[in-house]
Amino acid sequence: MSIHPSAIVSSDAQIGANVSIGPFTVVHAGARIGADTSIGSHCEIALPSAVGEGAPLLIGDGSLIRSHSIFYEASSFGPGLVTGHRVTVRERTRAGRQLQIGTLSDIQGHCEMGECVRLHSNVHIGQASRVGNFVWIFPYVVLTNDPHPPSSVTRGVTIEDFAAIATMSVVLPGVCIGQGALVGAHSSVTRDVEPGTVVVGAPARRVCLTSEIKLKDGTGRPAYPWRHHFNRGYPEDVVKAWLAEADRLGFEGSAISNKA
């Protein structure tokens, strides 16, 4: 355990083995930090609030929380959480293993995420959002929840497994993005998106099937499902299954991506 002398860590916080905590970071009583986790400088962890009602913040083993990040109490994250800098995560957020949250992203709480979800920089996840497994959400995407703002009506967004939402898109309240669908950049998604389709525009309209998009890597292979050519950083068991699936389908998916 390596806690910087300038960090302020509550004696009631539960800190696992081999955890490091950076300078000027504040860890409140409700923190339950898994082993082998690293927390950067200038963070505030397990911030108490009326909404949280004293419930703990659970961070799984082997996580990495980068500097200037803020986590409220009363959320839980599986092992292998990785964040960028200055993320904000409010109460009642639940996520499976290996969630990635990019720099400046803002999770408003009261939401659920599956395993291996990846949020890029500056993503805004409204309350009541339900995000499946292996979803990608790119910079400046907003998941909304109020059909006639401001009001007390909350209609969360649903994003199904393997879907990808490209940068600067808004998903309107109650909309469901189907499995493996792709929302093009700068779109406003006002209606449900069928699985495996591509939509783009404001309002977003169906353009084609994802299977019609070719990889621009000179091979002409299909770009979707992306798991057949892109698997960097995913768990070993997952990658193995994806490669087997690609092999079965005759796709040359064995080349492991090396992109950051």
Distance CA 22, CA 236 (A): 30
Under the binding rule (CB under 8 A), the answer on residue 21 touching a copy of itself is no
Under the binding rule (CB under 8 A), the answer on residue 71 touching a copy of itself is no
Under the binding rule (CB under 8 A), the answer on residue 254 touching a copy of itself is no
Distance CA 87, CA 134 (A): 20
Binding mask 29-68 for a copy of itself (x = CB under 8 A): -----------xxx-x--x---x---------------xx
Provide the CA 107 distance to its chain's centre, in angstroms: 9
Q: Which residues contact 65 (CB under 8 A, 6 or more apart)?
A: 37, 38, 39, 40, 43, 45, 59, 71, 81, 83, 87
3-state secondary structure string across 195-233:
CCEEEEECCEEEEEEHHHCECCCCCCCECCCHHHCCCCC
Distance CA 155, CA 131 (A): 14
The residue within the footprint of a copy of itself, chosen from 215, 238, 239, 241 (CB under 8 A), is 215
Report how far apart, in Å, the C-alpha atoms of 104 and of each of 121, 156, 179 are: 6, 21, 26
Question: Residue 16 or 186: which CB sits closer to a copy of itself?
Answer: 186
Under the binding rule (CB under 8 A), the answer on residue 186 touching a copy of itself is yes
Q: Name the minimum Å distance from CB 259 to a copy of itself.
A: 4
Question: Residue 95 or 143: which CB sits closer to a copy of itself?
Answer: 143
The residue within the footprint of a copy of itself, chosen from 37, 93, 144, 197 (CB under 8 A), is 144
Distance CA 123, CA 181 (A): 18
The residue within the footprint of a copy of itself, chosen from 2, 14, 53, 202 (CB under 8 A), is 202
Under the binding rule (CB under 8 A), the answer on residue 188 touching a copy of itself is yes
Report how far apart, in Å, the C-alpha atoms of 118 and of each of 10, 103, 246 are: 30, 12, 22
Which residues of the chain form contacts with a copy of itself (CB under 8 A)?
Answer: 6, 8, 22-24, 26, 40-42, 44, 47, 51, 67-68, 70, 84-86, 88, 103-104, 106, 108, 118, 121-122, 124, 127, 136, 138-140, 142, 144, 147-155, 164, 166-168, 170, 172, 182, 185-186, 188, 201-202, 213, 215-217, 223-224, 226, 229-230, 232, 257-260
